[in-house]
A and B are shown apart, each in its own frame.
Chain A
């Protein structure tokens, strides 16, 4: 149980375009979803926290207009990187929580902006 999927697993896009990443909780209802960014050989950095039906709460330094997060249902959250640039290239990981302190992580999405 407690499986979280992400789609796509890898994406390459051109500079200036937008890309959407989906995060789904497959077998439980996720009241809260989290989006993290991970640079090579570094730890996870929390970007934002979203609760179903509410606006996401962004961490300091994360541009909310660039990283659009939507949590429209209890099983789906999306992260849209708008007007992507090469510096946005990274590994993006989502996690989902059903209300307890534990988070279940997705397999990650490798974004490369050319």
Chain B
């Protein structure tokens, strides 16, 4: 079946540190992949997406590359800010499948 496995959290970083949140997936075919961000008490906001192999999605300094050979879609940011503190979800929307979410806390 379809599944998404995310790096377990929580993740705590200092401001300006490098961020990686791992995401791997299992699915038939080549689904589009998404990263969503959820701030406390709010719904999900699309962060970035990639629709085919080797595509790189990017937004607000975050990047993720669709790697078919490793079935991965890891989220990275070179320098995190306190305002990036949130929960991040990797998702296969075609199957409405979400990872468990990774809570990121960035300290000043």
Contact = CB atoms under 8 A, between A and B. Distances in A.
Interface residues of A, number: 20
B32 A101 contact: yes
B94 A42 contact: no
Contacts, number: 45
Interface residues of B, number: 21
A93 interface: yes
Interface in A42-87: 42-44, 46, 49
B100 A101 contact: no
A103 interface: yes
Interface of B: 31-32, 34, 36, 41-46, 49, 51, 89, 93-94, 96, 98-101, 103
B44 A42 contact: no
A43 B89 contact: yes
